[in-house]
Structure formats: structure tokens, C-alpha cells
Amino acid sequence: MKVLVVGGGGREHALCWKIHRSPRVRELYCAPGNGGIADVARCVPIAADDVVGLCAFALEKAIDLTVVGPERALTLGLVDELEKRGRRAFGPRRDGARLEGSKVFAKQLLEECRVPTAKFGVFREADAAERFVRANGAPLVVKADGLAAGKGVFVCATEAEALAAVDEILRARRFGSAGSSLVIEECLEGEEASFLALTDGETVLPLASSQDHKRIFDGDRGPNTGGMGAYSPAPVVTTAVHDRVMRRVMAPVVAGLRSRGIRYQGVLYAGLMIREGEPKVLEFNARFGDPECQALLVRLESDLVEVMLAAAERRLAGQRLHWDPRPSVCVVLAAEGYPGDVAQGDEISGLEQLRDWRHGVVFHAGTTRRDGRLVTAGGRVLGVTALGATLGEAVDHAYRAAGAVRWRGMQYRKDIGARALGRLS
């Protein structure tokens, strides 16, 4: 088979790393890729949102399966266009990708399907949104409707913060068309978890549980990011919670989409808040999470290509996934200034010491090669991902490896996995 992976971040490196190991794959391409992906796939200089260019490449190379990593490519309809040209793709079509591309659409679907979620209001006018804030009081969560690179969500502890978020989204138009409307919802309490599943629009095949760390600083402080680390499994997702999520969230949502004429296939990702064993949905994503993907795929023992094909061909029923019982931890190494503006082009050192690292894999996110040197090329730069006999051992392996890497201004959280270790103890 010939496989094309679309994207150039840590998630796509993990996908390429896993797909490369499938005996079914003869040629593997990644567009645009990064400095680490080049070790396992042929990188091609096509942007991940260049739908026309990606379709032309898939036809030229007779690609058998295109795996779409980033959400923007999905919301632009890349899967639709590939299928029109007779090419198989893994990921939802444009109509299904609205589940992530529009928070308004997602919340209204959840309400319609009676899926547990936070109480909310939808607004297009700033004055009406501000009246809602004053009437309900803080804490509140304010979300731009559309895609905003993980930065359009404001967790507001005070009314003043919520009013400022409304002003940024609806008046200052910080997020452009993505902020033409917004959702304001109650701030749920509990512990977050990521619940991912594969689906072909009928069957829902759950992946192992995981937990992301969104805030930039230790102790969940500072602004939200795309994700500063993850681990799998998440102890908060007990067997009982898992069953509730499948029964009350995943199955109703897939059925609700189908009732709207949307045959959703690909990854269905529910961000959950869990309190006293009861899960509520915070948001949906229409693709693998980043960095949850890294933590999950180092544990997956099954052939990922086989199950992706099964989802794309609507024959997921009867498929099974097998997991390494060892826990995993991914620690994201980020550039100085992230999640704001960052410098690029700083040389990365220390990775040569981890070339044959027996405890895990260092996945590249924002890297590129320049004059034979590996340099930074983004906010999140590397994802140091380790396995261990216990979660504590995986944490130790990951941080010991992270300590070997250097570049000017490198930053990372020192408490990835701490909440789970506290729960286990």
C-alpha cells in the first residue's frame, strides 16, 4: 500500500512512526512533515490545508489511503475531495468535521441527543453575551465558535475575565471569522480526561484512555495551549466510567450524526470532565489529539493501518485493539514564549543521546533541518514519550530523557502525570 499522512506536528510523527511499522505499507509520504518525520516517511512540500495540491498528489502517486491529521484540513473538506476522486481517506467529511469546527453545532447536537454537558448559551452579539455573563456570574467558560488553534477557549474565574473574553472574540475579532459567534457555558468541576474512539458511522471502537495537560505552567496555571503533555491510561476513567461514556456519549453522538444524514468515520474524540464517576462532555475533536496520540500509539500493539482501513471502508464491526499494558507518558518540550509568539531557528542538541533510547520515542513537532542542523520551527517542538512498568517509572524515563535535550529558551512542565500518581497512591 501507499499511504499519505497529512500534517507536520507531533501527532503526525506518531502516526507516521506507527504506520511505518505496518507490513501492509510499501510507501509512506507525509505532507508537509517535519525534521523527525523525514526519518520514517518521504516528506513532500505541500501545506496541510492545500486541498487542491494534496488531491493532485494523491492521484499522481496513486495513494491507497490518506490519513488526515489536522482539524483544519478536515473542515475544509479534504476527505470529501479525495473520495470524489476515488481515493480512500481516514477522517470525517466536512459535515462531520463540524463537530470540532463549530462549538455551536457540537453543543446543539449534544443537547438534542441528551448527552451530559455544561449548560450553555449561544451568542452573535456582544451586548447579549455580556448580559448573560452578568446574569449568571462566574466562573464561566467562553469559547469562540470556530477553529482557533486551541486558543479560542477562555476559562474565566471572574465576571471581568468573561466580559474581556467576549470583547476579544465578538468586538476585537481576535479570531476573525472563527469568532463570529461564541458559546458561554458553566464551568464544570472535576477531573478532565480524553476519550478517543474509532468509528465507521455505525460501530464505535474505543481506544485506551488518556489525559492531556492544557495549561502552560505547572499546577494547571497560565494560558491554554495545544497540550503540554499526556499520559495513558487515565486512572479517572474506571471501567464504570468507560461504560457510561460509551453508552451515554459516544453511541448517542454517532447515532445523532447519522440521524442528520452524516455518516461519521474516523476518530471521535470527547474531552470529558469527570466528577464522582459521572462524565460530562467539554468538547469534541474530529481527529487524534496532540499529544494524546503520542501517548496512545506507543501503547497500541495492533496494526493501525488495518483498523483505519476498516473504518474508511465501513467494516469496523468485529475489529479488536490490543494494548501494551505498560503506562505511557508524553512530555512536550516547547519554545520560549509559547503559546504566544516564539523565536525559531534555534539549534537543538542532545537528541543523539536518545537515538537508541530503549524506553520510548522522541516525536518531533516543530522542527526542521537547516544546513544539516536540526532547529526549532514552532511552538511545541518535541514530545518525549516513554513507557514504564508503572506510571511513575514512565514519568521518570520521560523526564530523564527530556533533561538530555537543549536549545535556547526551552520550556516544559515538570508535573505531567502528577494527578494520576496522586490518585493511584
What value does the mean pLDDT of the chain take?
A: 96
pLDDT score for 365:
98
Under CATH, domain 125-180 is a member of which superfamily?
Answer: ATP-grasp fold, A domain (3.30.1490.20)
Q: Tell me if residue 204 falls in helix, strand or coil.
A: strand
Determine phi and psi for 29, rounding to 5 degrees: -120, 155
pLDDT band at 152 (very low <50, low <70, confident <90, very high): confident
- pLDDT the model gives residue 150: 67
Q: What is the mean pLDDT of residues 305-309?
A: 98
52: three-class secondary structure by DSSP: helix
Please state the φ and ψ torsions of residue 37, each to the nearest 5 degrees.
-60, -30
Rounded to whole angstroms, how far apart are CA atoms 341 and 316? 42
Whose grid coordinates read 485493539?
A: 321
Q: What is the pLDDT of residue 223?
A: 86
Number of neighbouring beta carbons within 10 Å of residue 47:
14
CB burial of residue 295 (10 Å; 0-12, 13-18, 19+) = buried
- How many C-beta atoms surround the C-beta of residue 311 within 10 A? 22
- For the segment 326-340, what is each residue's pLDDT rounded down to a tens digit? 999 999 999 999 999
The architecture of the domain spanning 2-90 is 3-Layer(aba) Sandwich (3.40)
pLDDT value of residue 32: 98
pLDDT of 149 strictly over 90: no
By the 8 A CB rule, do 15 and 5 touch? yes
CATH 3.90.600.10 region(s) of the chain? 328-424
Give the CATH superfamily of 191-312: ATP-grasp fold, B domain (3.30.470.20)
The CATH 3.40.50.20 portion of the chain extends over: 2-90
CB 129 within 8 A of CB 170: yes
What band does 37 get if pLDDT is binned at 50, 70 and 90? very high
C-beta separation of 263 from 365 below 8 A: no
DSSP SS3 for 191: strand
The whole-model pTM stands at: 0.95
Residue 150 phi/psi, 5-degree rounding, is: 75, 5
pLDDT in tens, 337-355: 999 999 899 999 999 999 9
Do residues 30 and 42 lie in contact, with contact meaning Cβ atoms separated by under 8 Å? Answer: yes
CATH 3.40.50.10300 is held by the domain 328-424: no
| Residue 232 identity (one-letter amino acid) | S
Question: Computed from CA positions of residues 166, 170, 175, 178, in that sequence, does the dihedral angle turn out positive or negative?
Answer: positive
Task: Kindly state the DSSP code that residue 348 receives in the 8-state scheme.
Answer: P
pLDDT at 148: 81
Q: How many CB atoms lie within 10 A of CB 224?
A: 17
| Range list for CATH 3.30.470.20 in the chain | 191-312
pLDDT band at 372; cut points 50, 70, 90: confident
